[in-house]
Amino acid sequence: MRSIVYYVREFLRPEWLKKFFSVKTAPLTTPAYFKGYPTLTDKECTHCLTCMMICPAPGAIAVLRHKEQWAPEIYPGHCIRCGLCVEACPEGVLTSGRILDVTSRDKTAFSSWYRLEVDDNLCMRCGNCCVSCPVNREIDPQLAGTGTSASDEVIMRIEGGRVTILHEEKCTGCKTCETNCPNRAIRVARMVEGVQGGEAEA
């Protein structure tokens, strides 16, 4: 009986009632080190597309043109917030959490190359890859519909009825050739290496 009285008195205290009905947990803040969606800094984008090429999620990032200025755009429904684009960007256009500070202090970076590979058994010698390549078109605007070119500076051209790759290092990894190939004969391989201190082995 005494315990019942004790509990009734305990629970009728105004402080207890007030606490019971109104107290909430403290408002939560997202910590500064959380990798959120990448946001733009004031650096200028050079349209090198490294961010798009390293992005592991389909359709998460696109570099778009806004009045003579390129800028990457992040799509929240697709972005997985891994922060690879922030780390890979050579200019520091994007920032997310404290990745940018940490990478600049530790001098960590990703260096990437592109390797082109043509499967001669599948290739139909149509020349679509040479014509569609945006780098090729810039170097040699006269690139013929058959993919032959007089210039030695193009990435690839049709020589003697087959695709010859001349300058692999000029490839920007846009994969336009891969999408335009009717037979999936040409493949662009992205090779990425995590490096520290600026040195990289090719």
Partner 1 sequence: MKKTVDVSIPLGPVHPCWKEPVRLKCETAGERVIRAEVELGYMKKGIERIMRGRPWQEVMFLAERVCGICSVVHNMVFIEAMEEISAIAVPPRAAYLRVIVNELDRMASHILANFSYCYTIEHETLAMYLLNTREIVLDNLERITGSRINTAYMIPGGVRFDLLPEDAAAMLADLVKVEDEMKRHVRIFETGPLIALRSKGIGVMSREEAIRSHTVGPTARASGVEESDLRLRHPTYRELGFTQITRTEGDNFARVMLRFDEVFQSIDLIRKCVETLPEGPIRGGGLCKAGETSYAGEAPRGELTYTIKTDDFGRVLDIAIRTPSIMNIEACAHSMIVDAASIADVTSTFISSDPCIACNER
Partner 2 sequence: MRNILQEIKNFVRSRSIHVSYVDVGSCNGCDIEVLACLAPRYDIEQYGIYVHNNPREADVLLVIGSVTPQWVDKLREIWDKIPEPKAAVAIGNCPISGCVYARRGTLTTPPVENYIPIAASVPGCPPRPTEILNAILSVAPIIFKDYEEKQP
Q: Which stretch binds partner 1 (CB under 8 A): 37-45, 67-75, 143-151, 185-193?
A: 185-193
Site for partner 1 contains 124 (CB under 8 A): no
- C-alpha distance from residue 109 to each of 60, 62, 92, 195, 196 (Å): 21, 21, 11, 5, 6
Site string for partner 1, 84-123 (x = CB under 8 A): x--x---------xxx--x---x-x------x-x------
Site for partner 1 contains 48 (CB under 8 A): no
Q: Which stretch binds partner 1 (CB under 8 A): 3-11, 122-130, 173-181, 191-199?
A: 191-199
Site for partner 2 contains 161 (CB under 8 A): no
- C-alpha distance from residue 36 to each of 31, 103, 176 (Å): 10, 16, 30
- Site for partner 2 (CB under 8 A): which residue of 2, 9, 24, 66? 24
- C-alpha distance from residue 46 to each of 107, 141, 175 (Å): 21, 22, 19
Task: Judge contact between 186 and 123, C-beta under 8 A.
Answer: yes
Half-sphere exposure of 116 (CA within 13 A, CB side): 25
Report d(CA 181, CA 171) in Å as an integer.
16
Binding site for partner 1 (CB under 8 A): 31, 33-35, 54, 56-57, 80-84, 87, 97-99, 102, 106, 108, 115, 117, 189-197, 199-201
Binding site for partner 2 (CB under 8 A): 24-25, 28, 30, 34, 56-59, 76-81
